[in-house]
Chain A
Amino acid sequence: MQTRVLAVRNIGVAFGGLQVLDDVSFDLRRGEILGFIGPNGAGKTTLFDALSGFVPSVGQLWLDDVELTPLKPAQRAAAGLGRSFQDARLFAAMTVLDTLRVANELSLLNVDVLGTAFGLRHARVAEAEATERSVELIELLGLATYRDKLVRELSTGTRRIVDLACLLTRRPRVVLLDEPSSGIAQREAEALAPMIRSIRDTIGCSVLLIEHDMPLLLSVADRLHALETGKTIATGHPQTVIRHPEVVRSYLGDDASAIGRSGTAAVARAKRKK
């Protein structure tokens, strides 16, 4: 498969004697949005943690031709793996501008201690470029008035935008989005689908997406991967997966309203999108 970006093979994670993830494998194609569903405790976030290198795991992981398995989180990030966290906590005591500049870390690696301490040219130039880039992006996203605000002063929704801005500036090859809709209002959540697609198109990445908001997920995902208690129970086309008997039993229930939004209009809209 030429268009394969990410290859995940037989990933397993155990905490003590508890097998939290068991033999999970999948491929991610270029430009694809792969959604993950499953009940709480199914291992979705653990899977993301294992892929980003935060928890020790067995199995293999390739990004293009690079094997990420032996790499630490920061090295995986440098290889092109982007991660967004469910809480979008970011750095509470830093300004939005500084947060974005931290996100530019990989373009600033030549800013060393001595260069900074003595104000050498290469350090100044690299910093100025990162600042300019961050400021442009902040203005582009309509965050200009927030630029010098501390992250802890922002609403969850705004933090989410900053979080996505960090992804935009980093341009990872693969983005791991962990429940971007959590903690934000439903109206805002509805705006996420176009945003996720536009991020993918803008930076040309592929996306792994954990999401409990089924209408949102169904409107963006090209494929779904269903987990239960750490095991894959179904994978494939979204409509196939959500009708899969095990998925229905373990996660969705047989009540159609769980798949649609609360409120008939939303359900109708979700259906229309299909």
Chain B
Amino acid sequence: MDYILLGLAIGMANALLAVGIVLTYMSTRVINLAHGELGAFCVAMMLALTRNAHWHYAPALLASLAATGLLAALIEQGVIRRLEKSPRLIVLIATLGIAQLIIVARLVVPKPKAGEGVELITGSGVFPVPIDNPVVEFGRVVLRPQHFIALVIGPLVALAVVLFLRRSTYGIALRAAAQNSSRALLAGIPVRRVSTIAWVAAGLLSGVASMLLAPIVGYSSSEAVGLPLLMRGLAGATIAGFDNLGVAFGAGLAIGVADQLVFLSTGRAGITDVIVFAAVLIALYVRRSEYRRTSANEETSWDTGDATRPLPLAILQHVRWRQTVRASVGVVALVAIAMPWVLSQSALFFTATVFLVAVVAVSLTMLTGWAGQLSIGHWGLAGVGGVFGARLVTMGHFPYWSAFIAAGVIGALCALLIGLPSLRFEGTSFAVVTLGFGVAASGWLFSQPWFRSGQGLRRPSYLDNRGYYIAALVFLAFTVVVARRLQRSRIGRNMTAVRENSRQAESFGVNLVRTKLTAFVISGTFAGLAGFMWAIGVGSANGEVFGPVRSLTLVTAVVIGGLGSIAGAVIGAFYMLGIPYFGSNISVYIGLLSTGIGVLTLVLFLPGGFARIGYFVRDFVAARVTGLDPNPDVVPVSLDRLSADSSAPVMENPQKVGKKRGVSA
């Protein structure tokens, strides 16, 4: 009972986060991945105002909530509204970009001072609480004011939301718009204003929830606080099927209680992330029949045609085009091989790590660009390979090559385990599951005694900077070759077909779940292999090295490079890592800033990414060297012509079709 009460206090925060996510989902049909960041931003504001500017509690509270609400309104007006007609997965990626920008905004807010100019990084006593009483010992727990505040404020805020939805005109309008937005628009409901209000309300909910939570579970100013916050809310929202505020509230509470009870029985803290992840999986399983139904606006399809358009066969087979391709591949290879004699040691090492991130990016573009399944926990998969491989080396004294292979195998197994329950559903649930995995892997799995790696992971002597560079280069080249072969074969084609039109693909005999699983397992293999090589380079493998925020970087890399394009993924990796590397003397936040802005710019203005520019260049060169049009006009053909002409092929040559088919069938 005592722990249940404590759990309820924490659960209040989860519940309000979940309600906020459901609210935004109802209004705009998108899972707002920046939801946790909004709350984290609010907490940072509050701390800066009370600790650094010495404001009183109440005005600081109002100011930070107002700032958060304003931020939410800005997001809705500036980004979400512009993407009204875009596929929902693109909007999802846009919210990822927003999340990265809010991280920057939060980090720019001055860090709270503990006293004589020392910046506080973490601590549980930092966050201001307006009252000092009561402190009650209840059973085995001590209930402090912050718990009571949560227990009182939580239900009140929830009640306010319910009253807002039931009674106010805007609330009713919001529910109508959630049911059918075009019909609501026709009925004269200002759907857009309603959606802005929903976003502001959700932003405020996230702010309140985070401020209830901060004094209870402690405050941290590291990058990765928004994602765990987000997962707390997402778990409740997923259980509620993203459409039931009451269930979302209850589920949030239940997760808080379950968290405390597990803590009570195991005595181990820090497994919240795992419980949240498990809750998402269970929710998907229980509500599987509902998630299997998809409406048109939740389809996974995004048109990557611009990023993957092939050249006409006539050009591909043209001698001079082949020579050109061979020559340019040769030049790239020469430059890459010459690097060790050109670059400094540190630059060489840096380039090698970029190659490894590029491998993970290529593996992600197969999964996300081809098969249409967005993974927001891909760096976690790399981490599984990295940590497990490092464990084999440091604690089992395995040779490096066998640990490398084992890292790939465990990456594949892990993908299989996550994919089996979650790839059966269409839509965005896979993204939620992978995000949960990324967070739980970093926060829990990588520090478990039976999984974590030992100390003292050293590079073997043959992997000095030059050797490491060459190994990474060979590995990347191998990955690109394999990816290209897969892309041009049945394997890659089926992935694209499943993404574009799953029913049509099925009616051709393509096995849906197997195709998506194949994509994820191949992807997980490469991620695991690259993760191990990364760990060797960094010299350690733990939850920090494989933190969840880099998963966002990876998604951004493949989007910026052009979803589905292999070269684009490699270029995207260079962009994402290169800018922070060269720009770090300008600002330490330039990385997050450039990725956040980069992804939003691309999503809003240049869908198709860098690959689109690349294809423009390619077409130009192809036209110059072969003299053929890379995108020739077509002779219109119609059913009408087929039968009206005497040359109607099907009519005239049925035997011919039959014979040819007969030979090969």
Contacts and interface: CB of A to CB of B under 8 A. Distances in A.
Given A113-B486, A142-B642, A166-B508, A161 B637 contact: yes
Interface of A: 52, 54, 72-74, 77-78, 81-83, 85, 89-95, 98-99, 101-103, 105-108, 111, 113, 116-117, 119, 123, 126-127, 129-130, 132-133, 136-137, 140-143, 145-150, 152, 155, 157-158, 160-161, 166, 168-171, 184-185, 187-192, 194-195, 198-199, 201-203
B650 interface: yes
Given A93-B303, A168-B661, 12 more contacts: A77-B508, A90-B501, A91-B497, A91-B504, A92-B501, A140-B649, A142-B647, A148-B313, A150-B305, A157-B638, A158-B638, A161-B639
B501 A91 contact: yes
Contact of A74 (B311, B511, B637): B511
Contact of A94 (B490, B493, B649): B493
A98 B493 contact: yes
Contacts of A146: 634, 637
Given A116-B491, A133-B660, A94 B640 contact: no
A150 B496 contact: no
A78 B661 CA distance: 17
Nearest to B663: A133
A150 B506 contact: no
B514 to A, nearest CB: 9
A91 B491 contact: no
Contacts of A201: 654
Nearest to B512: A74
Contact of B500 (A82, A94, A116): A94
B378 to A, nearest CB: 19
A216 to B, nearest CB: 12
A88 to B, nearest CB: 9
Given A140-B649, A150-B305, A188 B640 contact: yes
A117 B518 CA distance: 13
Given A74-B512, A93-B303, A146-B634, A111 B506 contact: no
A111 B313 contact: no
6 contacts: A73-B506, A93-B303, A95-B309, A102-B510, A147-B313, A191-B643
A113 B522 CA distance: 9
Contacts of B632: 145
Interface string B500-525: 11011111111110000010001000
Contacts of A160: 639
Contact of B509 (A95, A105, A198): A105
A167 B491 CA distance: 21
B664 A94 contact: no
B286 interface: no
B644 A91 contact: no
A94 B497 contact: yes
* Nearest 5 interchain pairs by C-beta: A191-B643, A93-B305, A91-B500, A77-B509, A83-B507
B303 A90 contact: no
Contacts of B266: none
B657 A103 contact: no
User: Could you say which of B504, B506, B509 has the most chain A C-beta atoms within 10 Å of its C-beta?
Assistant: B509
Contacts of B342: none
Contacts, number: 196
A142 B637 contact: yes
A77 B637 contact: no
Contacts of B494: 102, 105
Interface of B: 301, 303-305, 308-313, 482, 485-486, 489-491, 493-494, 496-497, 500-501, 503-512, 518, 522, 632-644, 647-651, 653-654, 656-658, 660-661, 664-665
B650 A199 contact: yes
Given A105-B508, A107-B665, A142-B642, A149 B634 contact: yes
Contacts of B489: 111, 116, 123, 127
A91 B654 CA distance: 26
A157 B506 CA distance: 23
B639 A195 contact: yes
A155 B642 CA distance: 15
A78 B507 CA distance: 9
A202 B650 contact: yes
Contacts of A161: 637-639, 642
Contacts of B641: 142
Contacts of A187: 640
Contacts of B311: 148
A66 to B, nearest CB: 14
A99 B506 CA distance: 13
Nearest to A73: B506
Contacts of B644: 191
A187 B657 CA distance: 25
Contact of B508 (A103, A111, A195): A103
A106 B490 CA distance: 11
B524 to A, nearest CB: 13
Contacts of B511: 72, 74
B164 to A, nearest CB: 30
Nearest to B305: A93
Nearest to A202: B654
B588 to A, nearest CB: 39
Nearest to B492: A116
Contacts of A108: 490
A202 B658 contact: yes
A128 B574 CA distance: 35
A199 B494 CA distance: 25
A74 B506 contact: yes
Contacts of B653: 140
B509 A195 contact: no
Given A150-B305, A202-B657, A89 B501 contact: yes
Contact of A194 (B305, B635, B638, B651): B651
Contacts of B508: 77, 102-103, 105-106, 166, 170
Given A111-B489, A198-B651, A73 B661 contact: no
Contacts of B507: 52, 73, 77, 81-83, 85
A182 B305 CA distance: 26
B359 to A, nearest CB: 14
User: Could you say which of B301, B632, B637, B658 has the most chain A C-beta atoms within 10 Å of its C-beta?
Assistant: B637
Contact of A140 (B301, B497, B510, B657): B657
Nearest to B643: A191
B496 A91 contact: yes
A92 B500 contact: yes
